[in-house]
């Protein structure tokens, strides 16, 4: 098996990560609620690009996408390339079937672009649910935004 070199890409990516701006969460997910009853927030594609685009460009890293159709499935491939060396990494996901309408494909593209970029750049743009949603495990609290109320002796509950 041939080893694919990524040393220049990973070095440039590490430098870029140190220059990423704080990641905002301007998206609103009305299907998940916080413990206090509010809606869950997440980082949109715009938020992600505001955080990292300048640093990626400065370090000669380019993100691009392809959409292909194979064996009845539509696929999105996200490719991160180090321009001077040509080294790249990619992520590929199915985003629909032959019966998917254009709006469903478009939604899948937007959704998976966001998740591919988060994974490739090691961004925490969503809350961590310990895999409960993916595993379809019931959970009473999806996301906690408030610290627990202090006890009578004014010491906080829980923590490390």
Domains of the chain by residue range: 7-127
Q: Which of 42-46, 57-61, 85-89, 153-157 has the lowest mean pLDDT?
A: 153-157
Mean predicted confidence (pLDDT) in 103-127: 88
User: For residue 147, is pLDDT > 90?
Assistant: no
Q: Which pLDDT band holds residue 109 (cuts at 50, 70, 90)?
A: very high
Q: Are 79 and 88 in contact (CB under 8 A)?
A: yes
CA-CA distance, 30 to 39, in Å (whole number)? 5
Could you give the 3-state DSSP secondary structure of residue 55? helix
The answer to whether the CB of 41 falls within 8 A of the CB of 27 is yes
pLDDT-above-90 percentage for the chain: 61
Residue 23 vs residues 29, 79, 123, 137: alpha-carbon distances, Å? 17, 21, 8, 28
Is the model more confident about 63 or about 134?
Answer: 63
Q: What is the mean pLDDT of residues 38-52?
A: 90
Q: Give the per-residue pLDDT at 73.
A: 96
Q: What is the CATH number assigned to the segment(s) 7-127?
A: 3.30.160
Helix (H) or strand (E) holding 27: strand 27-33
Q: How far apart are CA 83 and CA 93, in angstroms?
A: 24
- pLDDT at position 1 over 90: no
Mean pLDDT of the chain, nearest integer: 82
Closest CA to 57 of 49, 69, 68, 65: 49
pLDDT in tens, 68-97: 999 999 999 999 999 999 999 999 999 999
């Amino acid at each position: 098996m041939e080893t694919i070199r990524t040393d220049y890409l990973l070095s440039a990516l590490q430098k870029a990560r140190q220059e990423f701006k704080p990641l905002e969460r301007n998206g609103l997910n009305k299907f998940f609620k916080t413990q206090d009853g509010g809606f869950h927030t997440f980082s949109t594609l715009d938020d992600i690009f505001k955080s990292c685009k300048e640093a990626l460009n400065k370090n000669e890293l380019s993100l691009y996408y392809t959409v292909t159709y194979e064996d009845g499935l539509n696929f999105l491939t996200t490719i991160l390339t180090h321009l001077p060396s040509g080294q790249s990494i990619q992520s590929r996901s199915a985003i629909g079937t032959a019966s998917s309408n254009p709006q469903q494909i478009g939604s899948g593209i937007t959704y998976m672009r966001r998740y591919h970029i988060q994974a490739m750049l090691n961004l925490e743009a969503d809350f961590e649910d310990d895999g409960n949603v993916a595993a379809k495990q019931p959970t009473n609290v999806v996301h906690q935004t408030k610290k627990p109320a202090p006890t009578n002796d004014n010491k906080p509950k829980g923590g490390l």
